């Protein structure tokens, strides 16, 4: 890879730690340009969006009339999915199947938040518990592979479980808390590779796995994206994009109405994700995911660039407790701290060092975008 001089965007806080970033003559990055040119003109979190959403909600209700559930929603306990559930039930009057994937790393806060929501809304919770022996070995395989995207075992289990339940209960609509407001800047592909590339996943398991994956839920993109979405017509709806969504206000509402408790950072509902995003990724790979999160908030007017830069001066992890966190992760994975530190210092690898279907995935994304089925750009 060519080395380039350090540069940070003049509009947001994305910088050259995202190695494929491009800047225009004014020093504005391609994330920001893409947001202003392609996302903002098509984003209507106002009356127009409200009307469009109303039509979608009525359709979901109508299609779900004789079913046990009219939609499905995965609850991580994080802000977006928690708020999404509140809105779906309290405001829209929908009847979601609510599921949670327990991969063994739930923080106590997440468990608390999931339960206060489900209890107060009077819903059943479908919990998919992943075999810890398999999960542990699967996660270790990613550490051994030396790649940055070690969160795939958690991410993939979530996606596979989502489609498994949707298929099993014949549910036609997936409610997704994903949103432009807090996620308009995308994570760079080099650090967050596709979690559904089964060729890639199988290659990592074949090389580094030690335990047979008997019960872990796998789902190939061919099955869930093409078969379930385009043949069985299961639709993904992102209601938060049709209305104003301000993170701080959502947190306040959840705290007041449910006794929900906030996290110090996005994705901290999983202890593993917290470790990975606050420590492993910035310290081993030099990429801090807060740049993506803060940049999204800056572009949508929820944070100033100055505040973001100030917060980025300090690490995302707490230096006084990080040694305990490292111990926790090692102990949980049943390896020594030395072994974990060995993975930390070993040569860096990326998805391109292993079998992958990036070209096919990118080509597929281009086709879906060209025929108007997908809007988002991932690079």
Instruction: For residue 328, list its beta bridge partners.
Output: none
Q: Which two tokens stand for residue 203?
A: 């290659």
In sequence order, the β-bridge partners of residue 106 are 270
What does the buried/exposed string (b/e) look like for 152-172 if buried means 16 or more CB atoms within 10 Å of the residue's CB?
A: bbbbbbbbbbbbbbbbeeebb
Chain residues binding Zn ion by CB under 5 A are: 9, 11-12, 14, 29, 31-32
d(CA 172, CA 232): 8
Least distance CB 189 / Zn ion (angstroms): 17
What is the C-alpha to C-alpha distance for residues 274 and 107, in angstroms, rounded to an integer?
9
Instruction: Please state, in angstroms and as integers, the Cα–Cα distance from residue 339 to each residue in 69, 163, 190, 244, 334, following that order.
Output: 46, 36, 24, 46, 10
Return the number of the residue (32 or 98) whose C-beta is nearest Zn ion.
32
Smallest separation (angstroms) from Zn ion to the CB of 191: 17
Please report how close the Cβ of residue 241 comes to Zn ion at its closest, in angstroms: 21
Least Cβ distance, residue 295 to Zn ion (angstroms): 6
Closest CB to Zn ion belongs to which residue? 9
**Tokens in use for 324?**
């305990």
Question: Residue 28 CB, nearest distance to Zn ion (Å)?
Answer: 6
Query: Least Å distance between CB 34 and Zn ion?
Result: 9
Instruction: Provide, rounded to whole angstroms, the least separation between the CB of residue 23 and Zn ion.
Output: 8
First to last CA, the chain: 17
CA 191 to chain centre: 13
CA distance linking residue 326 with residue 98, whole number of Å: 32
Count of positions (residues) in the chain: 379
- For 39-59, letters b (16+ CB in 10 Å) and e give beeebbbeeebeeebeeebee
Q: Smallest distance, Å, CB 185 to Zn ion? A: 8
CB of 32 to Zn ion, least distance (A): 4
- CB of 11: closest distance to Zn ion in angstroms? 5
DSSP H or E stretch at residue 271: helix 271-275
CA distance 360 to 142: 22
DSSP string, 66-119: TSS-SEEEE--SSHHHHHHHHIIIIIT---EEEEEEE-S-B-HHHHHHHHHHHH
Phi, psi torsion values for 106, nearest 5 degrees: -55, 135
């Amino acid at each position: 890879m060519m080395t380039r001089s350090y540069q940070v965007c003049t509009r947001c806080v994305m910088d050259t730690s995202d190695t494929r970033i491009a800047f225009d003559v004014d020093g504005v990055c391609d994330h920001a340009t893409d947001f202003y040119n392609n996302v903002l003109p098509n984003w209507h979190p106002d009356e127009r969006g409200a009307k469009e959403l109303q039509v979608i909600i009525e359709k979901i209700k109508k299609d779900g009339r004789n079913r046990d559930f009219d939609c499905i929603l995965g609850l991580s306990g994080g802000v977006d999915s928690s708020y999404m559930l509140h809105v779906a039930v309290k405001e829209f009057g929908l009847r979601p199947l609510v599921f949670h994937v327990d991969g063994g790393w739930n923080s106590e806060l997440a468990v608390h938040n999931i339960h206060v929501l489900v209890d107060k809304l009077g819903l059943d919770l479908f919990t998919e518990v992943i075999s810890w022996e398999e999960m542990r070995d699967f996660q270790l395989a990613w550490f051994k592979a030396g790649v940055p995207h070690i969160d795939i075992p958690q991410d993939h289990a979530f996606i596979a479980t989502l489609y498994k339940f949707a298929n099993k209960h014949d549910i036609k609509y997936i409610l997704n808390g994903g949103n432009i407001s807090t996620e308009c800047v995308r994570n760079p592909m080099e650090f967050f590779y596709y979690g559904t590339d089964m060729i890639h996943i199988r290659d990592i398991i074949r090389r580094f796995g030690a335990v047979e994956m008997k019960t872990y839920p796998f789902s190939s993109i061919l099955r869930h994206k093409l078969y379930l979405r385009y043949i069985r017509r299961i639709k993904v709806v992102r209601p938060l994009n049709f209305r104003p969504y301000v993170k701080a206000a959502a947190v306040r509402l959840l705290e007041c109405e449910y006794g929900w408790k906030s996290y110090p950072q996005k994705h901290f509902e999983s202890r593993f994700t917290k470790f990975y995003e606050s420590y492993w990724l910035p310290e081993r790979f030099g990429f801090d995911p807060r740049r993506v999160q803060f940049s999204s908030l800056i572009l949508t007017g929820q944070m100033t660039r100055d505040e973001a830069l100030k917060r980025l001066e300090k690490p995302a992890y707490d230096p006084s407790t990080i040694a305990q966190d490292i111990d926790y992760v090692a102990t949980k994975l049943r390896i020594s701290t030395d072994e974990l530190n060995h993975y930390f210092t070993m040569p860096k690898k990326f998805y391109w060092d292993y079998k992958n279907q990036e070209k096919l995935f990118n080509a597929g994304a281009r086709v879906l975008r060209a025929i108007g089925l997908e809007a988002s750009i991932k690079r």
